[in-house]
Amino acid sequence: MQRHQQQAAHLPTASSIIALHTDEMTSATASQISQSQTLDAQVEQEQACYDCLRRHAAAAAASVSSGDQQQQQQQQLLLLREEHIDYLTRRLRNLPASFSGLDASQAWLAYWSVHALYLLGEDLDDDIAASLADLLSTMQCPTTGGFGGGPHQVAHLAVTYAAVNCLCILGRLDLVDKPAMSSWLSSLHQTDGSYRMQVDGETDVRGVYCAVSVARLLNLPEFDSLFEGTAEWVGRCQTYEGGFGGVPGSEAHGGYAYCAFAALKLLNRTDACDCRRLLRWAATRQMRFEGGFQGRTNKLVDSCYSFWLSALFPALQSSLPPRLATLAEGAWLFDQERLQCYVLACCQKRTGGLFDKPPGSPDPYHCCYSLSGLSIAQHYLSGSDDRPEQSSVLLTGERYNQLRMTCPLHNIGLEFLPTGCGLSSSSAAPSASPDVNIVLDADTGFDTDLKAKESS
């Protein structure tokens, strides 16, 4: 814990991030740096994030000068909790017409909103929870056993994963026809160990992860036979970079890497891949300036990867060989403070909702995965996979920003995990008095002498 406190003490604040890169941003224009469209876009994105951080630091400096303590508190890097709760609750009750194109993603919309509200500490009204459970129960196809994206739609593994996760949060897994589900999963299992997303559909690691996660949460008795040869197939999807592609031979990608390694972890087969190469690849996806993660090499930052990539670290660090385990003691092997800074300073809309990168428009998907990544960055879990324990909390800003914990393998609250699903619900509750480190100044959240830092 002492080592963790020393690390936290040296983490950069938002204004130090600005100071570190001011010379880079002011000494060269985009046209001087750029040699390609990709570099042009990167420079523009860094400038957008720089502007967000500078606005926060300038507002904090002004509030300190005024001596108004209430205003100082308002200018911290603050999670807009109530605004996000209002945004997500409205989306659960009444979707705008612009969402009509997502009719086949109704299960996803329910899961994204319900899980994000849970992380924010908002419990659903009983009538909303009952209505959602009833709606989701109508999405399980009676002829196949999988879930469709809406009632009377074709069963698909991705929306089956979303529906089962949502029902798990609602405490209504009893609504799932488990024998039918097991039969349907078996029909998607290919001879090489891979999984199709639907009958006659595409094959990739998303299908494997969704199938493994669903089978674990439902405690299907046929688990072992459902995944014969699967770990070996997933292992062949690891690329020369260290990440995972969707299928063998494809480019490494953050979402696919998460699906692949989380599946191997749930299968207890992390021996099927090179964990150290994956760790190196995942760590280099965190952007040096923005603090968030990119999904692929030479791509822009995106807040959804705050979860897809940060969630790799809890699973990876428990798989490291003993001689490397000391590197992972007390903190995750990515910059937790910088990731929180990116989400809080650059990805929140003042009226509610979170988006991928500035400037952007909010949506339930990015609300869910931005907050999930923020939760991973805030909470350090020690202990074994079967008995995780919260040992410390690292917050950017004030205690108000603290979210509930999420499971890095299933992305639902630890308290909802059934016994035997890969993480034990009996040990899911956090310790009564976790150590809390708040790494930004308690009054302002920033070093307020911004002009002096920018001119130095």
Catalytic residues: 253, 296, 299, 302, 304-305, 356, 363, 366
Q: Distance between CA atoms of 307 and 374, rounded to whole angstroms?
A: 8
DSSP conformation class of 175: G
Q: Which residues pair with 380 in a beta bridge?
A: 392
Rounded Cα distance between 166 and 72, Å, is: 38
Integer Cα distance of 147 and 139 in angstroms: 5
The two tokens of residue 140 are 């399980």
C-beta separation of 141 from 149 below 8 A:
no
Alpha-carbon span 356 to 312, nearest angstrom: 19
DSSP string, 387-431: SEEEEEEEESS-GGGPPPPB-TTT-SBGGGPPTTSSS-GGG-SPP
Strands 435-438 and 388-395, bridge-based pairing: parallel
CB 340 within 8 A of CB 437: no
Q: Reading across the β-sheet that carries 388-395, which strands appear in turn? A: 379-383, 388-395, 435-438
Other C-beta atoms lying within 10 Å of the C-beta of residue 427: 15
- Residue 298's H or E segment, with its range, is none
Q: Which of 226, 210, 267 is nearest to 422 (CA)?
A: 267
Give the contacts of 112 (CB within 8 A, at least 6 positions apart). 162, 364, 365, 367, 368
Under a CB-based contact definition with an 8 Å cutoff, are residues 313 and 379 in contact?
no
